Structure 1
């Protein structure tokens, strides 16, 4: 018997999955298909861990050399927690690729010091898991990299990105994520964050946005429409792929109809147009996405 359950909450990453491709959302959330670890994503996790741990030290000791020195140890901790990451360098007998990869992580960490001064920061929260429920019953959850609170009570939400800053026409996804966090913080703390800050370590840029209540209202409406589409797709098993240039990076091409594949048997019961509940079955058709 399948252990899959309908989704109960929404995070920024899963919301973006559904907007990018409903079938990708299904593969990750409903089917829970495994994905191979990538060097880029794992490097991002490593850099985040280093920047989080650096604030354990007294302000005067938060230097670039100390931060870079944390990289090997944090990699060992990450590898211990997720042994499957070892396959990234399984064929690197001499260790040259691993050394170069760790060096890239050190470069990103060092670049951060040209963008922010950690000796002048005392984060209120680091890697903060947040969760709240909207009046509609939709549960929102996510992890915020850093929350700064000024003496005046003003809140700044900070997110580290290890890639390059996107061109303006592609920046909406990152802004959506940050306003999502602002909405959750507003619900939990009763405070509208003063600033949303994206720190792009790949290109050495800081992008800021000062939200207003209308931004939060807009994103909440979008999330509710998105969730309605997800619920409909969950009930009907109606998930169709949405091909884009990003398909080349997808781990699930072998199961995708766009590439001649067949999705696994749908693990949830589906509701027919007549309202009857049918046994789990394969499904590959579309679910609409709000704009």
Structure 2
């Protein structure tokens, strides 16, 4: 018997371990928000074309890139001037209304970074930046990329940068499935104690934190496994002949106005009007 055939037979033998569902927090969140968007992003190949990029995502991406690169510099070069230059190098005008708006938001983001980096100790080397970590549960192979992993005594702390218009809260830190997954991933990957998660909101200079317990993490794992089970059910339904639109229904609402796959979703387009690609940027009131 050919070697490939032996492998298939062995994989199908009774008693063999069940294959884990490989996922990220983003993948699970996409299905929880809208099964049809999940289908477009992760099932259909080729994936349908996306709509235009969003300015607020441009801001967040540039800030994250600048901070990652700042920590990669030699300690003596980790200055406020350096982080501004790194932001300028990472900046893109995509999603903004015009060049004036792009330049104004680049200046805003540079100010956030200058203030944030001024409060950091350049010599306090993180355990990781943009580090991919992973763990397994009885049903999942869960992985994700952490913005920063700090050393605090004998423990590690998950740090997530935020650039949205509203300051982060403790409820957000506690309820974030991604942060809980990162804690489990850090424990498994780096083999160090980790319970604390922090959301660093750069525009306001605030930090929202939460200390996870075994119980809180177990709750997050249970919810993640429930979502994965729903994904498997939908996938199996399509394989059995059910319409993909029925197995992966659209969940309509105001989120349809900014969905990346709006161009490919008539249901979403009919639900609400589209938003401008810069509409999530809080604008200053006009001068009198």
Normalising TM by the smaller chain, what interval? Answer: 0.7 to 0.9
Write out aligned runs for 1:155-170 (5 A). 155-163=156-164, 164-166=166-168
2:19 pairs with 1:18: no
Q: Which runs of 5+ in 2 are unaligned?
A: 1-19, 238-243, 272-288
Q: Distance in 2 between matches of 1:38 and 1:118?
A: 33
Q: Offset at 1:149?
A: 2.2
Q: Distance in 1 between matches of 2:127 and 2:65?
A: 17
Q: Offset at 1:11?
A: 1.2
Q: Distance in 2 between matches of 1:43 and 1:123?
A: 23
| Contact residue 54 and residue 95 of structure 2 kept, 8 A | yes
What is the match of residue 244 of structure 1? 253
Q: Offset at 1:173?
A: 8.2
Write out aligned runs for 1:116-135 (5 A). 116-135=119-138
| Contact residue 59 and residue 118 of structure 1 kept, 8 A | no
| Contact residue 34 and residue 251 of structure 2 kept, 8 A | yes
User: What are the Cα deviations for residues 173-231 of structure 1, in whole angstroms up to 9, with x where unaligned?
Assistant: 86222111112222334444141111011332101111111122111111111100011
Q: Distance in 2 between matches of 1:183 and 1:39?
A: 32
What is the match of residue 185 of structure 1? 186
Q: Offset at 1:120?
A: 4.9
Q: Offset at 1:258?
A: 4.5
What is the match of residue 153 of structure 1? 154
User: What are the Cα deviations for residues 54-81 of structure 1, in whole angstroms up to 9, with x where unaligned?
Assistant: 1123434422222112222233xxxxxx
2:49 pairs with 1:34: yes
Q: Distance in 2 between matches of 1:19 and 1:173?
A: 18
Q: TM-score, normalised by structure 1?
A: 0.72
SS in structure 1 of the partner of residue 154 of structure 2: coil
What is the match of residue 44 of structure 1? 60
Q: Distance in 2 between matches of 1:244 and 1:183?
A: 32
| Contact residue 62 and residue 118 of structure 1 kept, 8 A | no
Q: Distance in 1 between matches of 2:53 and 2:269?
A: 22
Distance 1:223 1:57, change over 3 A: same
Q: Distance in 1 between matches of 2:223 and 2:79?
A: 41
Write out aligned runs for 1:243-282 (5 A). 243-254=252-263, 255-260=265-270
What is the match of residue 228 of structure 2? 227
Q: Offset at 1:47?
A: 0.6
Q: Which has the higher contact order (CA 8 A, sep 6+)?
A: 2
What is the match of residue 78 of structure 2? 62
| Contact residue 135 and residue 184 of structure 2 kept, 8 A | no
Distance 1:42 1:186, change over 3 A: same
Q: Offset at 1:105?
A: 2.4
User: What are the Cα deviations for residues 66-109 of structure 1, in whole angstroms up to 9, with x where unaligned?
Assistant: 2112222233xxxxxxxxx66546x85xx434322322321231
What is the match of residue 203 of structure 1? 204
User: What are the Cα deviations for residues 255-284 of structure 1, in whole angstroms up to 9, with x where unaligned?
Assistant: 1425449xxxxxxxxxxxxxxxxxxxxxxx
2:134 pairs with 1:139: no
- Let me know the Cα RMSD of the aligned residues: 2.7
